[in-house]
Structure 1
Amino acid sequence: MNRKKFISNSLLSVSTAILTPTLAFSQSQEKEPKQLDLKLVKDFVVAGHSNLELVKEMLQEHPNLVYSPFDWGNGDYEEAIEGAGHLGNKEIANYLISKGARVSLFVLAMLGKTDLVIPTLEAYPELVFAKGPHGFTLLHHALIGESHDLADYLKEKGLRERMIKIR
């Protein structure tokens, strides 16, 4: 191999070594999913409070909305299932659970799942006073879901408020 060919091959090898990772990185960046539109997320969370048909329609088109929280300000995050939870809408909550929604202690309280809520509160007693979206408490969720045994339990533990301001 002559000197000219050696230098040419060396430069080609070095260029390839430099460009390959750069090209691979730029291509992987293009494959990242786009964030969901903020208005779409807000509309879905609002629908989750009381509009089952719209929830179904929106999930059909955008299945990952089921995981998407909206920030109402000051860190007051809410998912559609939580809206159903604090309004006592069991039908929407159960539908969203069937679609993989992340269930919180508040929604379980609204659904009357005392067999899940009470052992959790026994293990973590400080959660009795936890604040859900908009500051709604477990007592609010138990009462809106007509889970009177759970409401009595929460009152025995000292919880009296249905809402605690979070803003």
Structure 2
Amino acid sequence: MARTAVPATDRLVSALAYSLPFLDSLHYGRFLFARVPAAAAAIAPILPLAAAYRSVPYAAFVAFFALYLGVVRNPSLSHYVRFNAMQAVVLDVLLALPALLQRVFGTPSRGVGFRVMEMGYHAIFAFSVACFLYALLSCVLGRTPHLPLVATAADRQL
């Protein structure tokens, strides 16, 4: 079976789609950045972009719906682009769930609860960075990334 090459524009749009959940996950890395200065230094070049993104009111909300309505639901775009954009949307929704739980149960300020929250933040951020890097590399190479917990949900929506 012959593989068709994915056009460079499709690869670029697909790779850019994953920047939305990555930017939305940076706040989960705050404890890691405080403990590991090398991690903070590695992420420092994109902090101005993240600060600009966060400074615009409702930017995350607008970006989410722009990606969903402008890319995922656009039949003129290739399935490759739409699938990757849908994975990014699903990943972004999954990243919002811990913040929702935190608002419901409150934010512990010390003790075991704080330590559990800190470990959860580390796990969420590590998962998000791993997904971002895997998806980015796959898109650059023209392959379809299948993210754990995300790919089946994205495939069902398309």
| Same structural fold, with TM-score higher than 0.5 when normalized by the shorter chain | no
Q: Which has the larger radius of gyration?
A: 1
